[in-house]
Chains A and B, each alone.
Chain A
Amino acid sequence: MLTQAGVIGRSVPRLEDAPLVRGNGLFAADVNFPRQLAMRVVRSQVAHGTLRTIDIAAAQVLPGVIAVWTHADVADIPPIPFRATKLQGLEPYCQPILANRRVRYVGEPIAVVFAETAYIAEDAADLVLPEIDDLPVVLDAKAPPSDFAPGMSTEPAVVRKEFGDVDAAFAAAFDTITLDLSVGRHSGVPLECRGAIARYDAAQDVLELHGTAKKQHWNRDEIARLLNRPPHGVHLFEGHVGGGFGVRGELYPEDLLVCLAALRLGRPVKWIEDRREHMLATNHSREQQHQVRAAIDADGRLLAIDAVFWHDQGAYVRTHGARVADLAAAMLPGPYRLPAYRVAGHFRLTNKTPAATYRAPGRFETTFVRERLMDAIAARLNLSPIELRRRNLIASAEMPHPRPLDALGTDVVLDSGDYAGLLDRALVRIGWNALQTTLQRRRAAGERVGAGLGFFVEKSGLGPSDGVRISIDHTGGVELVSGAASVGQGVETVLAQIAADTLGVEYRRIRVVRGRTDRIEFGNGAHASRVTVMSGSATHLAAQAIRAMALATAAPLLQARPEELTLANGHVARLDAAGIGLMSLAEVARHMGPGSKLMIGRTPGLTAERWFYSDHMTYPYGVHIAVVRLDEGTGQVRVERYLVAYDVGRAVNPMLVEGQIAGGVAQGLGGALFEEFRYDATGQPLSTTFADYLIPTVSEIPELDVLITEDAPSPLNPLGVKGAGEGGINGVGAAIAAAVDDALGRPGAITALPILPTTVHGLLHA
């Protein structure tokens, strides 16, 4: 029994698993209401064109069809907004919920059908006939900007950041290195597609949206605003979420459409995205082209980096605004001491599915870019990649390390870290020297094998605030209400562990409520590796408050002073006899109930709500090492071994951290070797099923070794934690590219992700 202090840091089983393994989960498609209608979206099959007319007559008269809407029916609903960024002028690029006279990507919603069943809705959707005149398509974000609309460029913004004297550094440099690199278009593709089920409760005048994820409170406020309702008349609910990865839970046109339909049609409306729709309609990510220059001294030390990149945003600005480009620009410098830096990120609209964040947004891309650059510098100076990094890594004595940059509106201050120490531990863990010997022997025998690494700094714990309310009821039951959300990552378990540690109760007895707007007024959901840092810290504060209240209430009843008491095994006990429960938390709660004489004149309840504020992010860091073998005859890259070493400050539940990392590595291998949304020259998508969009399976994933370290707790929160969600994916592209280079014996050969067998075959036989 884990009933008291010490449950933090232990790999206890997940609270979430019982309903999931028993088949009692509630995913979006599991939500049903009596009299519900099915919604089907009619999508553009043209990448760019003028939408002249839409003939809906045949669809309207199909038996079972209730309504068919086009833009004219929803013209009063504003486009989907984005969360604040510093950049101005993006508003005209937001997406209308149904296309208005212009279609800009294949998959864009142009009409919706509401019918008695999903089958009828799909039959009717096939009868909706749009008339579209083709327009020229923009498919290369690096091509000169053109007109998005009259007087509006396809480049609405350039993200610029700069510090130090870059030009002077290049003028004085011993040498300069320039690389052209690119990362392919891919994204988080969760097992569960999106879903949205809206119901209007006329008796209470409340609009409910179910099947939500990630950002319930922000989405609630925006839905309320767009539909002209008060926020307290709209509530969002979260069941289970079959993977988030950044793409699930953003506000999409379909979410607004089901809400609007539930209000107008007076019946619940259900929409479940199918896989082909998902590939066309849910946020893409990652596609960037980079041109990066480094100025170095004779020892390979960085003097300056000057970077330009082109970010392919797709057809519209979605809810993240320019966040991915901003993060790419801010995080590119990574773990290295950098006297001067200049970056220009060209934010470009194209005729592809709109893009937004995917796990480690802007970091997967720029870690690939920066680490390619470091490998190129090492090759130029004939240094080992390890030695070159050692010379450039920021030392632990330099922490905290302010970088004159901002990321997501916060100043970048690398809060803590022993970067070189982690590199050393990782090299020992994988047996780097012995590995090199083995690889040399295998190469001599004709094998094409190699190893490579990628070092990176992650970011986590985005503020500004999170609140948690803990209540202990008259039976001793503990309820923890959080504005965080669950995308399956284990938030319930982790928050319960943190609360249990202070409250002296069994973590399994804590019910964690998350992802609902009707239970807590504010929340920031689940994204940006922030939940354990922010909601975890708020949980810790609330639990401390409860503990203090419980001890203060019990002390006079036990004729003791509060400081002589503690909480253990669900009871108040004397510090010097913690095993002997003197009064249960249930009794304390009853003493604090609304009928208790003790509470006369006070607010009753053993309950506390506390808020944690942070104006700086906390920065975990890691290193990935990959070993690959190339097949000379096919160009296939086989990953033989993989190590992730990651410092998370403090691991609340190491098993869950390892799980986060393992999943991230699998997705990273997808982006490095397999996954890509491809388009033909007319903007037709070529990757619309799992036969064309290749997610790695268990057969493609190597044995993974994970080294979790706690060398550098964060000074920014009471638990010392840093986020663990994105370190597994961040460095994969970089490490795989370096390992393939090494196996080819050609430094710098790999310049693009994903690394395709055709490319490797060409390099092997060039």
Chain B
Amino acid sequence: MKPPDFTYHAPETVPDVLGLLATLENARLLAGGQSLMPMLAMRFAFPDHVIDLNRVAALGFIEHHGATLRIGAMTRQRDLLNHPAIRRHVPLLTEALAHVGHRQTRNRGTIGGSLCHLDPAAELVSVATALDAVIEIAGPSGTRDVPMAAFPLGYMTPSIGPDELVTAIRIPLPPAGHGAGFLEFSRRHGDFAIVSAAALLTRNSSGRIASAVITLGGVGAVPLRLAEAEASLIGETPTAPAFARAAAAARGIDAMEDALIPAWYRTRLAVTLTGRALAAAAARLS
């Protein structure tokens, strides 16, 4: 539980970070440290250099411009959880954050760190997918935007080059009056979800569902959007039978299996939680 030897760097600006990334071999970025530090201590990670982002003040911010929320990559999960504009405009994010670890880990954990770590069961990865977030990435040749749908390349593998840095996350605000629901099942509160379900619903003037988003976390290597179920809800009345039909679509997912949790159980949880997340979202439509 003692990390292997590495050189520690503590830059204070984004250009300095990019400069280090451009020159150092086998470097890892340290954000909130809630995953990297245990990985170092358990010697699962062997970087030659650790670049600590905690002194880069420009990466910690929450901006609300019109229909967009822009969040600096180093913004603490706790600051997001407590932010009134987020609570009002993107309640899905607030609700999901309450499930992210514990109060103590949220004081350190960052949104950028969680997205880049890309754990398949991470709540922030799942809601970023549900909300169609855009990831802002800075590199030696400037910045680029990557939609969340294209950000994961595979299991715990984000689309970031070794000389690049995630600087911010943009979230288009869901329309006013939308309903959001986030449900997860873990054996203990605060653990990574075995399965999570995020749902967003909007309603048209005749009271029928105008749009629907269903995202499952923990069932595969990356969050899964239930596109067919989403489409099937359009035009339906937001009531239990429609949700049950949509949730049944989760029976067909190809859930992953590990040594402790069988695939069939993940699938059953996906069905249960999809139905519950949709019901929770519908109850919040206004």
Question: CB within 8 Å of B: which residues of A?
Answer: 118-119, 122-123, 126, 274-276, 633-636, 674, 678, 680, 686, 689, 691-692, 694, 696-697, 699-700, 757-758, 761
Contacts and interface: CB of A to CB of B under 8 A. Distances in A.
B1 A274 contact: yes
B265 interface: yes
Given A678-B259, A692-B260, A699-B190, 5 more contacts: A276-B1, A633-B276, A635-B265, A636-B187, A700-B188
Interface string B155-197: 0000000000000000000000000000001011111100000
A635 B265 CA distance: 10
B187 A674 contact: yes
A275 B191 CA distance: 18
A761 B5 contact: no
A120 to B, nearest CB: 9
Contact of A697 (B42, B189, B262, B269): B189
Contacts of A694: 187-188, 191
Contacts of B2: 118-119, 122
B195 to A, nearest CB: 9
A275 B2 CA distance: 12
Contact of A674 (B185, B188, B259, B272): B188
A636 B268 CA distance: 13
A761 B259 contact: no
26 contacts: A118-B2, A119-B3, A119-B5, A123-B5, A275-B1, A276-B1, A633-B271, A633-B273, A634-B272, A635-B265, A636-B185, A678-B259, A694-B187, A694-B191, A696-B188, A697-B188, A697-B190, A699-B188, A699-B189, A700-B188, A700-B189, A757-B187, A757-B265, A758-B262, A758-B265, A761-B265
A493 to B, nearest CB: 30
B43 interface: yes
Nearest to B269: A634
B4 interface: yes
Interface string B248-268: 000000000001111001001
Contacts of A276: 1, 42
A759 B236 CA distance: 35
A275 B1 CA distance: 8
A275 B4 CA distance: 17
A674 B260 CA distance: 12
B191 A691 contact: yes
A678 B43 CA distance: 22
Contacts of A699: 188-190
A761 B268 contact: yes
List the 4 closest pairs (A to B, CB-CB), nearest first. A633-B272, A274-B1, A699-B189, A122-B2
Interface string B189-214: 11110000000000000000000000
A543 B174 CA distance: 75
Nearest to B268: A761
A276 B43 CA distance: 12
A169 B66 CA distance: 83
A635 B1 CA distance: 35
A691 B105 CA distance: 14
Nearest to B258: A686
A634 B185 contact: yes
Among B1, B3, B42, B191, find the residue whose CB has the most chain A CB atoms closer than 10 A: B1
A470 B262 CA distance: 60
Contact of B259 (A680, A689, A757, A758): A680
A419 B1 CA distance: 49
A179 to B, nearest CB: 26
Contacts of A123: 4-5
A621 B42 CA distance: 44
A276 B2 CA distance: 12
Contacts of B268: 633, 761
Nearest to B275: A633
A635 B262 CA distance: 14
B250 to A, nearest CB: 12
A83 B122 CA distance: 48
B186 to A, nearest CB: 9
A697 B186 CA distance: 13
Interface in B208-245: none
Nearest to A632: B272
Nearest to A686: B259
Interface string B95-138: 00000000000000000000000000000000000000000000
A692 B259 CA distance: 10
A674 B190 CA distance: 14
Nearest to B42: A276
A123 B2 CA distance: 9
Contacts of A692: 260
Contacts of A122: 1-2, 43
A174 to B, nearest CB: 42
Given A636-B185, A758-B265, A691 B192 contact: yes
Nearest to A118: B2
Nearest to A699: B189
Nearest to A633: B272
Nearest to A123: B4
A680 B273 CA distance: 29
